[in-house]
């Protein structure tokens, strides 16, 4: 069964709005308040001790979330291919490149103990490696493989959105933050990646 075009368009618009919404929240949080002011006190202390890395990650993730959803609109790719390529470079180099390296560094002091640190380190490595594979595929002229790797890559980018949605849900259910966060460190991106893999295999 083929996915209906209207559903595809609605899904892309939802991805864009959710991604840009998180970017807007981050911009407000990190430009009007001290770094980490909106998170757990232990996280805030770690953020304050590693400000350059934190801001590099926020910058990279913001670029990826702003640019990433636009790359899935086929009309944009077909009508302005040069613009699509420019956005792709910004996404991979500024977004994934800077955000991923900074994210890997941040995983070493992530809140939630070894479980959360392993989750975020794995995410950072897979984010960087899938971006590199997407770049290699398009440089070789394999557009189909490039699209599949970009789907997987953005699924992990979108973990920034699903993490916040899941945290909101855990707060609503009154689950202790210390209990929820290590679990959500894995849960915020692994289901995204499974959905992307399913879509990639469907073509």
**What are the pLDDT digits (tens) for 11-21?**
888 889 999 99
**What's the rounded Cα separation, in Å, for the pair 85 and 139?**
11
Which residues of the chain fall short of a pLDDT of 50? 1
Structure tokens at 72: 């899935």
Give residue limits of the domains in the chain.
Answer: 5-202
In contact, 111 and 181? CB cutoff 8 Å? yes
Q: Are 92 and 137 in contact (CB under 8 A)?
A: no
Determine the Cα–Cα distance for residues 52 and 141; give it in Å rounded to an integer.
37
Q: Tell me if 22 sits within 8 A of 14, measured CB to CB.
A: no
The CA–CA distances, whole Å, from 110 to 87, 119, 134, 182 equal 30, 10, 28, 10
Query: What are the tens digits of pLDDT across the range 63-111?
Result: 999 999 999 888 888 888 899 999 999 999 999 999 999 999 999 999 9
């Amino acid at each position: 069964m083929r996915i209906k075009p209207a559903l595809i368009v609605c899904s892309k618009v939802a991805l864009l709005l959710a991604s840009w919404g998180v970017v807007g929240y981050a911009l407000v949080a990190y430009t009007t308040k001290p770094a980490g002011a909106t998170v757990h006190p232990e996280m805030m202390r770690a953020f304050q001790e590693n400000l350059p890395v934190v801001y590099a990650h926020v910058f990279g993730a913001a670029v990826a979330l702003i640019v990433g959803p636009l790359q899935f609109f086929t009309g944009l790719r077909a009508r302005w291919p040069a613009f699509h390529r420019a956005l792709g470079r910004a996404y991979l180099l500024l977004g994934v490149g800077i955000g991923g390296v900074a994210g890997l560094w941040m995983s070493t002091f992530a809140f939630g103990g070894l479980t959360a640190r392993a989750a975020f380190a794995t995410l950072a490595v897979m984010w960087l490696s899938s971006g590199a594979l997407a770049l290699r595929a398009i440089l070789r002229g394999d557009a189909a493989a490039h699209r599949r790797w970009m789907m997987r890559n953005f699924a992990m980018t979108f973990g920034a959105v699903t993490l916040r949605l899941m945290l909101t849900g855990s707060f609503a259910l009154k689950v202790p933050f210390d209990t929820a966060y290590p679990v959500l460190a894995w849960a915020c991106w692994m289901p995204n990646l499974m959905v992307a893999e399913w879509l990639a295999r469907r073509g």
